[in-house]
């Protein structure tokens, strides 16, 4: 795990959690959200399973200590006859924790997202372009962010973050 730190910013890879992407057809979106306790648009949820809203009828679920099959099974069980697709994406994402007083500035180098505390407080999430690549940014705490990028970009993104701290 590449780890970097500079005054005010700490960056760490946080892979290894079970990630399942869940998509449901538009007509089933509301029911799915209620049954599984999924997060609202633009939010990262705190319930179990923890989820990030990625788009209409589309969430990324975090398995709290359970594997992808079990999490997918839970979706199938809860969603019953609703048309949906839950797929294992545990290996599709590289997950980073960016924290510290300088975390916002470190991310603002590469994204036009409005990260001001009042606009992007804990619980907010967004898909954006970060350092020229697709990313999901979620605010977990006051100065704590989770950044997800496609795994194939991990080496590039790690080097880019490290370069910014030089």
Partner 1 sequence: MAGPSYRLPEGGWIDRSRPLAFTFNGRRLQGCAGDTLASALLAAGIAVVGRSFKLHRPRGVLAASAEEPNALVTVDRGDGPVPLARATLTPLSEGLRAESRRVFPALGFDLARIIDYTRALWPAGFYNKTFKWPSWHAYEWALRRMAGLGRLVPAPDPTRYRHVNVHCDVLVVGAGPAGLTAALAAARAGEDVLVAEQAAEPGGSLEYDPEPVEGQPPREWLAQALVELARHPNVRLVCGATVAGCYDHGVLTIHGTGDAGESWWKVRAGRVVLATGAIEQPLLFGNNDLPGIMLAGAVHRYAARYGVACGRRVIGVVNNDLGWRALLALSRAGVEVVAVIDPRPMPDRALSAAAAERGIALHVGATPLTAHGSRRVRSFDFITADGGRERVECDAIAMSGGFSPTLNLYAQAGGRLRHDPRLASFVPADCRRPVEVVGAAAGITGGAGPIAPAPVASTSQWVDYLYDVTVADVELAVREGFDSIEHLKRYTTVGMGPDQGKTSNRNALALVAALTGRDPGAVGTTTCRPPYQPVTLGAIAGDRRGDFYAPARRLPGHDWHARQGAEFEDFAGWKRPAWYGRDRDAGIAHEVGRVRQAAGLFDASPLGKIEVKGPAAAEFLDFIYLTAVSGLKPGRARYAVMLNENGVVIDDGVCARLTDDHFLVGTSAANAGRVAHWLEEWRQCEWSRRELIVAPVTEQWAVITVAGPRARAIVQALPGMIDLDAGGLAPMSQRAGRLDDGTRYRLQTISFSGEASFELSLPADRAPAVIERLAEIGAPAGLGPIGVEALLVLRLEKGHPIVGIDTDGTTNALDLGFGRIVAGRKTDFVGARSLARPADRSADRRQLVGIEFDPSAAVVAGAHFVTAGAGPRRSEGFVTSAGISPTLGKGIGLGLLEGGHRRRGELVSVFDQGRRATVRVVDRCFYDPGGARIRG
Where do contacts with partner 1 occur on this chain (CB under 8 A)? 15, 21, 23-27, 83-85, 87-93, 108-116, 119, 131-133, 150-157, 159-160, 163-164
Residue 32 or 50 having the CB closest to partner 1? 32
Q: From residue 129, how far is each of 7, 26, 44, 77, 149 by CA, in Å?
A: 25, 25, 18, 35, 10
Residue 132 or 141 having the CB closest to partner 1? 132
N- to C-terminal Cα separation, the chain? 19
Which phi-psi region, left, alpha or beta, contains residue 55 (left: φ > 0; alpha: ψ -120 to 50)? Answer: left
Output the smallest distance, CB 19 to partner 1, in A: 9
Output the smallest distance, CB 106 to partner 1, in A: 11
Output the smallest distance, CB 40 to partner 1, in A: 21
Residue 117 or 141 having the CB closest to partner 1? 117
Neighbouring residues of 16: CB distance < 8 A, sequence distance ≥ 6: none
């Amino acid at each position: 795990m590449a780890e970097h730190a500079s005054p005010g910013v700490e960056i760490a890879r946080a892979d290894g959690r079970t990630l399942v992407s869940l998509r449901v057809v538009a007509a089933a979106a509301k029911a799915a959200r209620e049954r599984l306790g999924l997060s609202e648009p633009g939010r990262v949820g705190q319930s179990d399973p923890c989820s990030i809203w990625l788009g209409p009828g589309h969430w990324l679920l975090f398995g709290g200590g359970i594997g992808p099959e079990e999490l997918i099974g839970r979706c199938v069980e809860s969603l019953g006859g609703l048309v949906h697709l839950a797929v294992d994406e545990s290996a599709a994402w590289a997950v980073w924790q960016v924290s510290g007083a300088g975390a916002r500035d470190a991310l603002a180098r590469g994204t036009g997202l409005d990260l001001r505390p009042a606009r992007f407080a804990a619980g907010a999430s967004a898909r954006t372009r970060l350092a020229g690549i697709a990313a999901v940014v979620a605010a977990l705490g006051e100065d704590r962010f989770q950044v997800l990028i496609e795994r194939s970009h991990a080496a590039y993104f790690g080097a880019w973050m490290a370069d910014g701290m030089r």
